[in-house]
Structure 1
Amino acid sequence: MPRHFLQPYEFTIRERGIDTRLPIQAFDGNTSAVSEIARMFYQIQATGTHDARRQRVLRHHGTVRETPDSVCVQLKAGEYGIASSLFDVESGHEEEKSPTKADLFKHYVRFDAPSNATRAVVMLHKIGNRSVLNPLRDSLRAWFRGRHPLYVVEVSKLIPREILKRFLEEGDLTEIRLKRFRLPSDRTDILGTDGGLAEQVGTFYEVLRPKRGSRFRTPRFLNEIINGKRYTEVTALQEPDLSGVSVELEFGGSTKRVHLDDFNRFPNSLEVTDDLTFDEGQNPTFTSVDVVAQNLAGDFMRQLGMAGLDQDDPSQ
């Protein structure tokens, strides 16, 4: 069975050409983005979407569940464009799948935005390495561009600090890579300044690796992330002082490079396989994913200090 994950994102909307985030529930003074997203899901339910250029298909499965503050749905997403063979391990029968047929996997999607919030917390269900993010983001942009052309929507990763902390504490630091925009003088001398390569260099990387069999001690800027001094509990921010800095870590049996100035490259998957209930087709039931996603979304909204969380629990 493949592993199942929930990935947290934030949805924001702003006026074109202006960086200020607008209230999700009334981004133009009256219209709720949550209601607009629900309308988009109803449209997908009726007709689906087909991106012929990217060869992506997005279809609907089940019903759209909508409240004033949230909307959730189960979508089927997949790509096509290459022929393959389908092999039945029980019967031994093999059949061909044409390039026009797409494998569609069921993905749970949830948006939560309390009153007055300027971001919605989005929970996306990921199966192994199959994600609904790209076709969903394309559909959101196309929907709002068609119905509200003066506004721009974005879907960005939310990185829980616990993921950063666990990754950086338990990972072995094996490389630090620094991006420079000017060559040091000794490199310039080697390459030559009189019509040489030095004048053509736009960027220059310095790669630091420890001695064979050893690991780097954690540098100060990583300790600040681990100890929560650089970021809050959940972050979608980028820090200019880390521009061009990446580190390579061995973690969980694999080696990963983390670009500290671009958290869209940082993993944000939370495994939930053991928390789900599966049907006969080995797909998680909508209800089981919904329960886990609601709990996680609530945690992220509390960490982000989003309003409207005291409606059901006065102690929050």
Structure 2
Amino acid sequence: MLRSLCSLLAHHSLRELLSIVSRNYAENKLHELPDETLLSYGRLRRIPIVGTRDDILKRLYRYLYRRECSELVNIICYDLEFTGLPTWDPVSGIPNQEIIEIGAYSPHKKESFSCLVRPELYKMSEEAASLTQISTSVLQSEGIPIAEALKRFYLWLANCVRSQQTDVEPNDSMSIPADSAVIKPVDNQRKDGHSLSAELSPEKCKPSNSVMLISHGGSLHDIRMLKYYSTSCDISIPNSIYFADSMRLLRECTHYKGDNLGVLKLDSLMKELGITSHTQSHRALTDAISTWKVLGKAIHLYSSTHLTPAQDITKKYLQWRKM
């Protein structure tokens, strides 16, 4: 490794190496780089360098997708568990269930958040208790009030963003062309009339500003429950947080056109994609991590080796939503 790096650095500085690889990746031209550059970058990043050139390129594309996409907008996968399946009063808009667990995972930092929440009004349904294996006694003894749980969650998000900013390589973000760095929402107009694309300009999409919270099927309940309980606890959701549901992309990746959402459940997708898990499903943190694993592998299979996340994923499939 040292000999290869020294040889390369005789012609390019480390800063130039990182910039060259990042720029070629963003332009889908990684395959045009010489073997020496690919090998040096792979060894620098501790990526296994074995197999054919095509094998190495696939590993580098997968690594760079995760790194570049996550750094660009601070991707965080999250999941919520409830006392039961929420329904909403059509007049008051109040849900008939409560949040009992919040879990989140930062794929770039490989850091996680997990918190049990003590319900105040509703008991655990038998189905929820069976799925999560969380008992009422555990929630009463280990859970904390929802207001405290939300404060901790938003603080963790803020700390993730601050710590992540210090990890961005010199010139990495500058090497991405401006047109691919702009992350525009599918629905470009908010209800208040302000353009979301203005809020998601290249300058504001630096790692210190925007967070994209991704949940699997989150548009069904997770987003709405977070909004309701944040409001009821008088906690402001940071303006830098946007929400996305991975369901749309995974429906496309699996070429599924039917209405049976069970096919797109995390358990089913993990089995279909050959992803093994040794932890219990239907727990918030486990499902948050599984969402990232499924999303990453599905994107890789769907796109082969050529994919620019900012253009083809964030803008096309992950529908940005403000609270």
- TM-score of the aligned structures, taking structure 2 as reference length: 0.28
Bigger strand share: 1
Larger Rg: 1
Q: Larger relative CO (CA 8 A, sep 6+): 1 or 2?
A: 2
- TM-score of the aligned structures, taking structure 1 as reference length: 0.28
